[in-house]
Amino acid sequence: MYCLVAAGLYLTVVTIILEAAAKALKVSRDVPPTIFEPPTATWQILNFIMEFLFFVMVPTFGYALFFVVLPLSGVRTGLATALCVFTLGAVPAVVGLSVRLRLPTLYLLYFLFGLLVKLAGSLAVIGYLYTL
């Protein structure tokens, strides 16, 4: 339960910071406006639920399962897992998307950076809490 709350708080703070940085850096200025969903409250809530599910809940329960079988814990284990998942999951999907759609490189790189920060931080928090 602590992992879900702490990693959820981390995810919330990082999402707010990344959204503010994206607006300040204007990373989506070259993206056609018809591609984006309008950022309504419903959209924000659904987006957070999806990110919470994939960045916090699934890793927490997966970590709990593997923690019993393998004696791995700690921040380094969480970061190593995050890099592995990021490299095998997010990067191929975004690179494949960049070949099919004409999205600006700045937007795609910022999107990948955001995914890496959210995933690595969440798994580092989860790994740290399992050492306690």
Mean pLDDT by 10 residues, the chain (132 residues): 89 93 90 81 90 89 78 79 85 85 86 91 87 78
State the total domains in the chain: 1
pLDDT score, position 118 = 92
Q: Would you state the pLDDT for residue 117?
A: 93
Residue 114 is predicted with a pLDDT of: 93
**Predicted pLDDT at 90:** 85
- Cβ contact 119:62 at 8 Å: no
Helix (H, G, I), strand (E, B) or coil at 33: coil
DSSP character at residue 121: H
Instruction: Give domain status of residue 33, yes or no.
Output: no
Does 78 map to a domain? yes
Judging by beta carbons within 10 Å of its beta carbon (0-12, 13-18, 19+), is residue 7 exposed, middle or buried?
buried
Residue 59 pLDDT: 85
What pLDDT is stored for residue 129 in this prediction? 86
Instruction: Establish if 34 belongs to a structural domain.
Output: no
Domain residue limits at 83: 2-28+39-131
What pLDDT sits at residue 66? 77
pTM beyond cutoff 0.75: yes
Q: Is residue 104 part of a domain?
A: yes
CA distance 63 to 65: 5
Q: According to the model, what pLDDT value does residue 30 have?
A: 84
Residue 90 in domain: yes
